[in-house]
A and B are shown apart, each in its own frame.
Chain A
Amino acid sequence: MATYLNLDVVHYICSCKVSKPLCRLYLCKHCFELRCQDCVLPEVDCQYCPNCLDYMSSGEAKVKKNRCSACYDCPSCGHTLSTRATSATLPSPDDPTKQVAQKVYYLLCAFCRWTTRDGGIPDQRAPSVPWRNLAQGAELRQDNSKRLTTLTEAFRQLALKEKAEKERKKIAVRKKSFFSPGLTDRYGLASVALRKKSLANPSHFTPQTVDIPEAQATEDPPDDLDEAYWLPPVPEQSPLAPGLHTRSSLLQRLADPEIQPERSSQLAPISKPVLCKRSLRCRQCDHNLSKPELNPAAPKFKINLCALYNVPEMRLYSVGDGEGGEGDDCCQLTLLLTNPASKPTGVRLRCLDSRLALPDREFSLGPCGDAALDLDDPLAAAGAQSPSSEPDRPDEVAFRGPGRLGLLARLRCARQLAAREGVRLELSYEFRNIVLPSAAAGESVEVRRLTAELLLRPPASSGAAAKA
């Protein structure tokens, strides 16, 4: 089918009047309307690492700074680093005098062959170590974080003190007579008064003055630039620009703002950033439209209200040449309607702007392919016959299949016009809403008649729409 993946031919109109292909829409079964990505509120369920699929809650992710603790990205190309093992003769941990062959581990990028050895990190005895902290300059970064924590603590205390002062000012303005215990004890307000008094005198909670510790320079800045800062002299036959391979590229430097490595020897493995699993919520009625399982390794959904699973899908099956040929009016189209549900449903197509001549009656679609296999009657399963009592007329129905119906329609306007502006259709169908059990009855199925507006844009030239 040539239009199988051509998503622009048939669009459904969302409740916000935007036209989108059906695969991008959700059906809210509480508002009974189609919702698109903009009508929907995304919420973050959990964070997960795309490499090891380890998932964590949002609170945990905040502590870990939205990074995976076990996986690293290559600082040179961004690929995921894999752990490799080699054996090296090292003094054994039990007896330092003996040299024993032991397994040592290092990280390697399979794409650009960068290793932790290039970054100056020695091979480790255990496969999972905090590689990033072993890189050069890690002590400097830890000193920075210590300074930051002392500063945040001091500022937090300052904020507490300022808040207490504000409260005290507020209370000091009001008249105190209302709050004297003798008068207010009738209503049990003595404890309230006591609490407010203690807030007004915060001296035993916070210090009167908060001093912010001064930063101390770790070492004197150098008088002149380090010799190693300068690039090495130009060798005679170097094909690479002289010493350029010892410098990091701009992208590599910006990928790691904590270190901002200037040389390639300073590149360190970057902790892998996590991705989020999100659930979608209808903005109008606040019900969940899509809620995946928390475990990223499980692609199932707890709630999945994609429109593809609930609304019959219409596709342009083929464009037959009318009697007059391509460019003329009276071009015949075959529209394919598919029932996604496991129960038969009745559909009816109506053209809203009279550009398309459609059979104007209700058709019933059998259940979709998987459910149809359970039916006893093989003919009904194949959907070859019309499930309803009325036989299909050959000038209306092109073919039938399990859950599928091919309708014949005739274009009443020029193909260029239909391709440019589209034909507006209305599809009304039966939606089976499974209502959760109430106290009285068990699970009941409520059948509602819903309508969806469609926009059909058949391609202008027959070269684009090859016949199936």
Chain B
Amino acid sequence: NPKINEMSRTSVKIAPGAVVCSECELRGDITIGQRTVIHPKARILAEAGPIIIGDGNLIEEVAVIHNRPDESNPNEKVMIIGSQNIFEVGSRCEAVKVGDFNVLEARSFVSRDTVVSNGCTIGAMCSVTGREVLPDNCVVYGAASHRKVVSEKPPAQTLQLDFLAKILPNFHHIKKAGASSAAAAAAKQHRPS
């Protein structure tokens, strides 16, 4: 059963300074960089291979980052996400390579074939599914997913990240920094508390 294999392989490396709520779903081999904030109910599924998330990312509720197994290319592929990206509520990212300073607005979808470069904004409910490299500072918007290239990248949300890093621990359990795996977590549960 592949799911059992995944669960036993769940190993999450959380860098110091990252705020990862316990209620998010993390499956597989995941590395999370510094100052990244992951809200509860976010789902990061490293099914076909490990996911490496960079620094200063913001992954909001119900966002899904899924390294989905691909029948046409069964080799394990590492999914690399850069820094200062924002994955808004309900966004779905299956792209194997995501750069820096991108914004995936609410309920947007990026498929596995697309390579997201830097500074792109995928608008709300837009889906990008072509086999292509998005140009830098590209904006996808509108019901018909119009494209245009803007002159500058979206601003970095450092204020928001700092605020969340202060507030979230007051209301949610936070996963501790460091490496952890499912086996160690299971062992903790069996120990009398």
Interface residue ranges, A against B (CB under 8 Å): 76-77, 111-115, 117-118, 237-240, 245, 264
Q: Is the CB of B149 within 8 A of A240?
A: yes
Chain A residue numbers with a CB within 8 Å of B121 are 113
Tell me whether A245 and B132 are in contact in the complex, defined as CB-CB below 8 angstroms, given that A112-B141, A113-B121 are known contacts.
Answer: no
Q: Which residue of A lies closest to B115 (CB)?
A: A239
B135 touches A115 (CB 8 A): no
Name 9 A/B residue pairs within 8 A (Cβ), A-sorted: A76-B148, A111-B142, A112-B146, A113-B139, A114-B150, A240-B135, A240-B147, A245-B148, A245-B149
A244 CB to nearest B CB, Å: 9
Please name the residue on chain B nearest to A117 by beta carbon: B151
Q: Count A-B pairs with CB separation below 8 Å.
A: 41
A118 touches B151 (CB 8 A): yes
What is the size category of the interface that chain B forms with chain A?
10 to 19
Shortest CB-to-CB span from A4 to chain B, Å, is: 30
Contact B150 A118 (CB under 8 A): yes
Cβ-defined partner of B133 (8 Å) among A76, A117, A237: A237
Q: Known contacts A112-B139, A113-B121, A113-B141; decide if A239 and B149 are in contact (CB<8 Å).
A: no
B residues with CB within 8 A of A: 121, 123, 130, 132-135, 139, 141-142, 146-152, 154
Report the nearest A residue to B148, measured CB to CB: A245
Smallest CB gap from B103: residue in A: A113
Closest chain A CB from B124 CB (angstroms): 9
Q: What residue in chain B is nearest A109 (Cβ atoms)? A: B141
Q: Tell me if A111 and B149 are in contact (CB < 8 A).
A: no
CB distance from B108 to the nearest CB of A (A): 14
A245 pairs with B133, CB closer than 8 A? no
Q: How far is the CB of A352 from chain B (nearest CB, A)?
A: 48
B residues less than 8 Å from A264 (CB atoms): 148
Measured between alpha carbons, how far is A438 from B132 in the docked complex, in Å?
A: 80
Contact B134 A239 (CB under 8 A): yes
- A113 / chain B contacts, CB cutoff of 8 Å: 121, 139, 141, 150, 154
Closest to A86 in B: B155
> Which residues of B have CB within 8 Å of A76?
148
Nearest opposing residue in chain B for A120, CB measure: B151
| Bound form: Cα–Cα A264–B148 in Å | 10
Query: B135 near A238 (CB under 8 angstroms)?
Result: yes
Residue pair A112, B142 in contact (C-beta under 8 Å): yes
User: How far, in angstroms, from A245 to B150 measured CA to CA in the complex?
Assistant: 9
Residues of the B chain whose Cβ atoms lie less than 8 Å from the Cβ of A245: 147-149
Are B148 and A112 within 8 A (Cβ)? yes
Contacting residues, chain A, for B135 (C-beta < 8 A): 238-240
Q: Which residue of B lies closest to A239 (CB)?
A: B132
**Which residues in B have their C-beta under 8 angstroms from that of A239?**
130, 132-135
With both beta carbons as reference points, the residue of chain A lying nearest to B152 in the complex is identified as A117
Which residues of the partner chain A approach B123 to less than 8 Å between Cβ atoms?
111-112
**Closest CB-CB distance, A261 to chain B, in whole Å?**
14
The minimal Cβ–Cβ distance linking B73 to chain A, given in whole angstroms, is: 21
**Which residues of the partner chain A approach B130 to less than 8 Å between Cβ atoms?**
239
Residue in B closest to A238 when the chains form the complex, CB atoms: B135
Return chain A residues, CB-CB under 8 Å to B149.
240, 245
Which A residues touch B134, using CB under 8 A? Answer: 239
Query: Given the complex of chains A and B, what is the CA–CA distance between A238 and B132 in angstroms?
Result: 9
Cα distance A312–B152 in the bound complex, in angstroms: 60
Q: In the assembly, what is the distance between CA of A77 and CA of B132, in Å?
A: 25
Whole-angstrom distance between the alpha carbons of A114 and B154 in the complex?
11
Chain A residues near B148 (CB-CB < 8 A) = 76, 112, 114, 245, 264
| Chain B nearest Cβ from A293, distance in angstroms | 35
Contact yes or no, A77 B141, CB < 8 A: yes
**A245: nearest chain-B partner, CB-CB:** B149
> In the bound complex, what is the Cα–Cα distance between A237 and B132 (angstroms)?
9
Chain A residues with CB under 8 A of B139 = 112-113
Bound Cα distance from A111 to B142, whole angstroms:
8
Q: Considering only CB atoms, which chain A residue lies closest to B140 in the complex?
A: A112
**Complex formed: what's the CA distance from A185 to B169 in Å?**
102
Q: What are the residues of chain A within 8 A of B154 when measuring CB–CB? A: 113
With A and B bound together, what is the CA distance between A264 and B147 in angstroms? 13
> How far, in whole Å, are A76 and B121 apart by their CA atoms in the complex?
16
The CA-CA distance from A111 to B124 in the complex, in Å, is 9
Chain B residues within 8 Å of A112, by CB: 123, 139, 141-142, 146, 148
Give chain A residues whose Cβ lies under 8 Å from the Cβ of B146.
77, 112
The 3 closest A-B pairs by CB, nearest first: A239-B132, A112-B141, A113-B139
* Residue among B130, B135, B141 with most chain A CB within 10 A: B141
- Seed contacts A113-B141, A117-B152, A245-B148; 11 additional CB < 8 Å A-B pairs: A77-B142, A111-B142, A112-B141, A112-B142, A112-B148, A114-B148, A114-B150, A117-B151, A239-B132, A240-B135, A245-B149
Quote the shortest CB–CB distance from A119 to chain B (angstroms).
10
* Chain B, residue nearest A119 (CB): B151
Please tell me which one of the listed residues A111, A118, A240 contacts residue B141 in the complex, with CB atoms under 8 A apart: A111
Q: Which residues of B contact A115 (CB under 8 A)?
A: 150-152
Q: Which of B123, B130, B135, B150 gathers the greatest number of chain A CB atoms within 10 Å?
A: B150
How many angstroms between the C-alpha atoms of A424 and B185 in the bound complex? 76
B152 to chain A, nearest CB (A): 7
Complex: A239 Cα to B133 Cα, angstroms? 7
A55 to B35, CA, bound (A): 48
Q: How far is the CA of A445 from the CA of B145 in the complex (A)?
A: 61
Contacts of A238 in B (CB 8 A): 135
Measured CB to CB, the closest approach of chain A to B49, in angstroms, equals 25
Complex alpha-carbon distance, A264 and B139, angstroms? 14
